[in-house]
Amino acid sequence: MNAGMNVVYQPSRVTVHGLELEVGCWTPTGEGEGADLVLLHEGLGSLSLWRDFPEQLAAATGRQVWAWSRQGYGASGRDPRPRTPDYLEIEARDWLPATLKALCIERPVLVGHSDGGSIALLHGILFPGAQAGLVAIAPHSWVEEESLAGIRIAGQSWRDSMGKSGGFQARLARHHGDADRVFADWHDTWLSPPFRDWDIRGRLSAIACPTLAVQGRQDEYATLEQIHVVRDRVSGAQAAIIEDCGHSPHREQPAALLQIIHNFLD
């Protein structure tokens, strides 16, 4: 890996489907060959919540890295329509292709975490061959009871923190224009009865690019069966388990995750 490489950061905004999205681009000096990497954040994530991981990823791989806050997150605009149980499909089918086009990004490697990992997999299902590769970090392909239990615990933590400085609500508010709406959309959609039937396992075989699924062994939101299913149903896919790690490897074990991604791309 090229951990000592300098990286230049360029923030911008782009209009997609009539809404402005906040965007970040990290370009390593002496940029090497290879497809751009596009980061897709989690269900409570945003551009700023990636913290320094995009810079580390650009330095480690020598590739340009892009990230943005999806509509409704961070400092991006919000679609006023209510979220529906097919929101992940809508993101993969409508918003991601349009954002890639607006930024003139062709055949990237999609690197998605949690909800973002599911969106990456769905993009691979819907548009086979439109990606140079997929890296799904702690993705979901169906709803497990472990996921719902973790979300219920997060919901209680959210309620307990309301109005308290330094609590969960206050921390999330630093990264979103409307943190209450972001949390409610995620929490309420996942726990709603219609979402319980969401399942893309039977569609994974449509993915036609190199694919890597990564998960922390102590993931509090899913079992390891999530990445085993990707490995078994996507032709040639790889799976990697990170020890001493929960649901967010880019925050909990960034060095291990960077090495795994570097090896996959090399």
Residue 128 lies in a domain: yes
Rounded to the nearest 10 degrees, what angle do helices 53-61 and 254-265 cross at? 40
Q: Which stretches does DSSP call E strand in 155-251?
A: 211-216, 238-242
Q: How confident is the model at residue 31 (pLDDT cuts 50, 70, 90)?
A: low
Q: Which stretches does DSSP call E strand in 61-210?
A: 65-68, 109-113, 133-137
Residue 169 lies in a domain: yes
pLDDT at 4: 66
Q: Which residues, other chains included, contact 263 with Cβ-Cβ below 8 Å and sequence gap of 6+?
A: none
Q: Which residues, other chains included, contact 266 with Cβ-Cβ below 8 Å and sequence gap of 6+?
A: none
pLDDT at 165: 85
Residue 64 has pLDDT above 70, yes or no: yes
Residue 186 lies in a domain: yes
Residue type, 16: V
Residue 166 has pLDDT above 90, yes or no: no
Residue 2 lies in a domain: no
pLDDT at 157: 95
CATH of the domain at 186: 3.40.50.1820
Residue 83 lies in a domain: yes
pLDDT at 67: 99
Specify the pTM: 0.97
pLDDT at 2: 65
Residue 248 lies in a domain: yes
Element (H, E) at 263: helix 254-265
Domain count, the chain: 1
Domain that residue 101 falls in: 7-265
Residue 1 lies in a domain: no
Residue 1 has pLDDT above 90, yes or no: no
- Mean pLDDT for 166-195 is 96
Give the strands of the sheet with 133-137, arranged side by side: 7-16, 19-28, 65-68, 37-40, 109-113, 133-137, 211-216, 238-242
Cβ–Cβ < 8 Å for 136, 122: no
pLDDT at 237: 99
Residue 133 lies in a domain: yes
